[in-house]
Amino acid sequence: MTTPLIGVTTYLNQAAWGVWEMPAALLPAAYPALVQRAGGLVAMLPPDAGATAAEAVAARLDGLVVAGGADVEPGRYGAEPHPRTGPPARERDAWELALIHAALASGTPLLGICRGMQLLNVALGGTLHQHLEGHIKDIGVFGTHTVTPVPDTLYASIVPEPARVPTYHHQAVDRPAPGLTVSAHADDGTVEAVELAGGGWTLGVQWHPEMGEDTRVMEALVRAARS
């Protein structure tokens, strides 16, 4: 059976290694490690330009992961920046939005992680809470909290019981986009997972599965990609 190729989007940041300091396409190693543990091959997807490039990428992939990262630019969902909203990553926003639309159009299985879930919601017309308290343990430190699935959803079919998950975010889905179903909540009511209602395999999770031991969500993406 062919091992599916899973594309994972990357950061684009100034970085230093050895004697070099220059712009670099970056991806925390936990992302490819999770894909590999779940049975997939990994392709890193640095920002590119335009719908045509995104469509070509989606056509060659068996599955797509939109990774976590910077806050989505508020103008993308018609809002003014909150004082606690971070600086925009416009090149990455544009590329990942194009990839999301290309994946949805082609039926490529899609998993959005943290920012990736938020961007999926924005791509389809939803909005975001720009600042929440209580979902970051400390700066640069992942915390954990319980996520409870909504019965009769794709997510509940993958993880049917409440689960402790690694978390690090200060933004979240506010108004879910038309066509998206909320499929998990935190104890405080924060939307923790969304999925595309009807047809295709599209799921967004607000937490960071790559930072934990539970591979079920990624394994489900890999199964969908394989089929």
DSSP 67-132: ---SPPPGGGGT-PPPTTPPPP-HHHHHHHHHHHHHHHHHT--EEEETHHHHHHHHHTT--EES--
Catalytic residue among 135, 145, 169, 208: 208
210 is catalytic: yes
Q: State the pLDDT at residue 136.
A: 83
Look at residue 183 in the predicted model and tell me its pLDDT: 98
The range of the structural domain enclosing residue 108 comes to: 5-226
Round the average pLDDT of the chain to a whole number and report it.
Answer: 96
What's this model's pTM, rounded to 2 decimal places? 0.96
Query: Is the per-residue pLDDT at 171 higher than 70?
Result: yes
The mean pLDDT of 163-192, rounded to a whole number, is 97
- Predicted local distance difference test score (pLDDT) of residue 1: 66
CA distances from 179 to 27, 120, 124, 193, 221 (A): 30, 11, 8, 14, 20
Tell me: pLDDT of 181 over 90. Answer: yes
Q: Which residues contact 222 (CB under 8 A, 6 or more apart)?
A: 4, 6, 35, 38, 39, 40, 63
| CATH classification at residue 128 | 3.40.50.880
Q: Which of 169, 165, 201 has its CA nearest to residue 184?
A: 165
- Of the candidate ranges 5-19, 52-66, 81-95, 131-145, the one whose mean pLDDT is the lowest: 131-145
Annotated catalytic, 208? Answer: yes
Catalytic residue among 96, 114, 192, 195: 114
pLDDT digits (tens, 9 = 90+) for 6-43: 999 999 999 999 999 999 999 999 999 999 999 999 99
Structure tokens, 78: 């018609």
Banded model confidence at residue 137, pLDDT cuts 50, 70, 90:
confident
Q: How far apart are CA 171 and CA 98, in angstroms?
A: 21
Better pLDDT: 211 or 133? 211
| pLDDT band per the 50, 70, 90 thresholds, residue 163 | very high
Closest by CA to 224, choosing from 56, 6, 44, 54, is 6
The H helix count followed by the E strand count for the chain is 6, 13
Which has the minimum average pLDDT: 63-72, 107-116, 119-128, 194-203?
A: 194-203
| pLDDT of 134 above 90 | no
pLDDT tops 90 at residue 222: yes
How many angstroms separate the CA atoms of 222 and 62, rounded? Answer: 8
Q: How many domains does the chain have?
A: 1
Residue from 136, 119, 124, 211 nearest 170 by CA: 136
